[in-house]
Amino acid sequence: MRFLKALACLFVIFLVFGNLFDREGIASDGEVTLKEAINIGLRKAKEWNVNATLESINSVDEKMGGSRGETGKRFNWFMIFIVPGTEDYVLVGISEKKITEFRPNRQTPGPAIPYDEIKLDSSDVLELAKDKFGLKKGKDWATGYHFTLNSIEGIPILTVIGVDQDNYFTRISFNAQNGDVVSAIHKLPYGGGLISKRMGTDHTGNLIKKGMAITGIVTGNKKVVVWGDKKPTQFSTTKQPFIEWSHNNGETWTELQPDNYVTEAWFDRNDQLFAATEKELWAGITSKSKGMKILSLDQAIENIDYSINNHIAVLSGGTIYYTTSQGESWEQAIVPKPFDAVQISENGDLVGFTEERKILQKTSNGWIEITMPNSNDEPLDMKVINNRLFITTKSGIWIRQLQEGNWTKMQVDEVVFKFIKKGEKLFGYTNREEAIYSINTKDEGKPEKVFVAVDFIVNDVDIMGDTLWIATAPNYSWEDMAIPQRP
């Protein structure tokens, strides 16, 4: 347990300091191995205190080109030196063989690692990890190969980080004195897939597409469409992207042919399938055609919404692109503040949800703020269905007619923190996504709890007939790998 906790602390440093270095195309002659980095840092630390001794070191993610650890070398390293018997320590960072950070401070120190105990270098353990475990370089997070060194129970432990043959995040740890493998673990997925559950039953539902990351689902006229990744990893759901539909309630599936990985999809009233990819919007997708492109943008689509009569609004790069003609023509509106989401009503009204949790509505005179009827209520999320605005708060769900401006309120047994909108249907997640409620958008009756989601990572939900469909993604846990025995 101490071993895992110590390594976890170092991975935080990847995220904290990784963004400090963000340049491309620098020659790899500025890269150094772990021991070379220690030598550079130790000289500076000795100037600070002659008794300075290494406590830990780790490589740091960057976008500087080079080998990214493929030779056991990296551009960027961070290390901590302590003064044994005191609380003095200094954080030292290097980049391209030069000191870039030097931060003395005080705290309870960890165990020291005398330099002469480090017999192996990062290049040595990398070759061992490749040979014994087929370790490959990471591509989505902690790119390339990374290295850490710290003392666990008095032993210097040198860890190399990459991915295994199935692209799962992997850590192989060696005794830095003799090269013995002391730990080999990888993060494996559990759960994930598509759940179909009969409404009104206590049964947890049937799970299909096991192990996949189902990122979205939508139902139409006797059709179910799902999209996601067939082989997800902890840091990517775009490894083997797919979109499929079923005409027989999920018994068989037909793969569709999108031009890129799908981020959103829906049916219009004529049962025509629309889909958004990273920067494009397509209409009329079938099993035989990828459809017709109706929008192409220079920047990524951040958020998208559609109304019952298929007015469409797309948020991208501080601009809203919207259409009331099924994509035949588009208009643009500049957002006055950074938006998290945009909504469009059946009348073509635009409503935005800002990063500051303010709700703005576009009028002929510009954007105006919609203030809550109770000043103590802060919006947690909002959606527009038909021409009504639904706002969830900690005190309940407020509903406002966009044109008339009158308010009503709906009570919920639990706080709904997030909405999912599917045409005229509305669902709500509770805190930590422990439950899903179906919210009646017509008669404003009390929301009904339809799914207990404690053991699932829920991405999306929809209902067709009396069947509830839940899109879930895998969770991940560290599992031991088999360690090859010495001959």
Q: What is the pTM of this model?
A: 0.79
Residue 275 pLDDT exceeds 60: yes
Q: Are 18 and 45 members of one domain?
A: yes
Q: Are 163 and 232 members of one domain?
A: no
Q: Are 48 and 117 members of one domain?
A: yes
- Structural domain total, the chain: 2
Q: Are 22 and 100 members of one domain?
A: yes
Q: Are 249 and 341 members of one domain?
A: yes
Residue 1 pLDDT exceeds 90: no
Domain boundary among 158, 187, 216: 187
Domain boundary among 132, 157, 187: 187
Find the CATH number of the domain harbouring 251. 2.130.10.10
Residue 383 pLDDT exceeds 70: yes
Least Cα distance to 227 among 250, 245, 211, 239 occurs for: 245
Residue 139's pLDDT band (cuts 50, 70, 90): confident
Q: Are 227 and 373 members of one domain?
A: yes
Residue 24 pLDDT exceeds 90: no
CB atoms under 10 Å from CB of 305, counted, come to 23
Instruction: Decide if 485 is inside a domain.
Output: no
Q: Are 152 and 205 members of one domain?
A: no
Residue 396 belongs to what domain range? 191-476
Average pLDDT across the chain, whole number: 90
Lowest average pLDDT, out of 15-24, 313-322, 398-407, 433-442, goes to 15-24
Residue 304 pLDDT exceeds 50: yes
What's the pLDDT at 28? 61
pLDDT digits 0-9 by tens, 94-108? 999 999 999 999 998
- Residue range 49-73: mean pLDDT, rounded: 91
Domain boundary among 156, 187, 218: 187
Q: Residue 216's beta-bridge partner residues?
A: 227
Residue 66's pLDDT band (cuts 50, 70, 90): confident
Instruction: Decide if 483 is inside a domain.
Output: no
Instruction: Decide if 486 is inside a domain.
Output: no
C-alpha Rg value of the chain to the nearest Å? 27
Residue 113 pLDDT exceeds 80: yes
Instruction: Decide if 95 is inside a domain.
Output: yes
Q: Are 401 and 260 members of one domain?
A: yes
pLDDT digits 0-9 by tens, 459-484? 999 999 999 999 999 999 999 998 88
- Residue range 279-286: mean pLDDT, rounded: 95
Q: Are 150 and 275 members of one domain?
A: no
Q: Are 159 and 206 members of one domain?
A: no
Residue 11's pLDDT band (cuts 50, 70, 90): very low
Q: Are 63 and 109 members of one domain?
A: yes
Q: Are 303 and 156 members of one domain?
A: no
Residue 402 pLDDT exceeds 80: yes
- Residues with Cβ within 8 Å of 388's Cβ and at least 6 positions away in sequence, in order, are 399, 400, 401, 402, 441
Cα dist. 33→11, 140, 291, 480 in Å? 18, 22, 51, 27
